[in-house]
Amino acid sequence: MAEAERNPAPHTEADLALIKRIIPHRYPFLFIDKVRDIVPFEGAVGIKNVTANEPHFQGHFPNHPIMPGVTIIEAMAQTAAVVVGISMNVIDEEMQTYFMGIDNCKFRRMVVPGDVLELHCRAIRGGGKIWKFEGRAMVDGQLCASAEYTAMMARKDG
């Protein structure tokens, strides 16, 4: 067996198909379109193309759509879950991700349809079931939100 077959190069990007093989989220609750710059056990950048036809914009707010802050934080967490999935090599293993804590959360700029939201996530602690990340949501180089969050990834069956 060739060396490359025994030790495949780690994923440095995750398209939508790979994201769905790692995390259970689906429309309308899947808030990332792509993850790039993945460094296992360290971090990545998630990408969310914000579009006007997303269901939360119907009520948040009519005639002045703003992406809810909680969905921005959820997008950060989904990006982090992809990092964990690739780091722990649990692709196709039907994992669930559970929030355990959100700290130091701040919102600085509104996110609106047409924005490309970049979710910069850096692992602070991890390697097992429980991970802690620092996240920054950016649009055009401007900070929109930041937070530290802790989550657990576990198999569906227990």
Active site members: 60
Task: Report how far apart, in Å, the C-alpha atoms of 86 and of each of 5, 36, 108 are.
Answer: 17, 12, 30
Say which amino acid occupies 152: M
Contact 34, 61 (CB under 8 A): no
Omega into 62 within 30° of 0, i.e. cis? no
Token pair recorded at residue 41: 């056990």
Three-state DSSP class for residue 136: strand
Q: Encode 2-19: b = buried (16+ Cβ within 10 Å), e = exposed.
A: eeeeeeeeebeebeeebb
Please classify residue 143 by burial: count the beta carbons closer than 10 Å to its beta carbon, then call 0-12 exposed, 13-18 middle and 19+ buried. Answer: middle
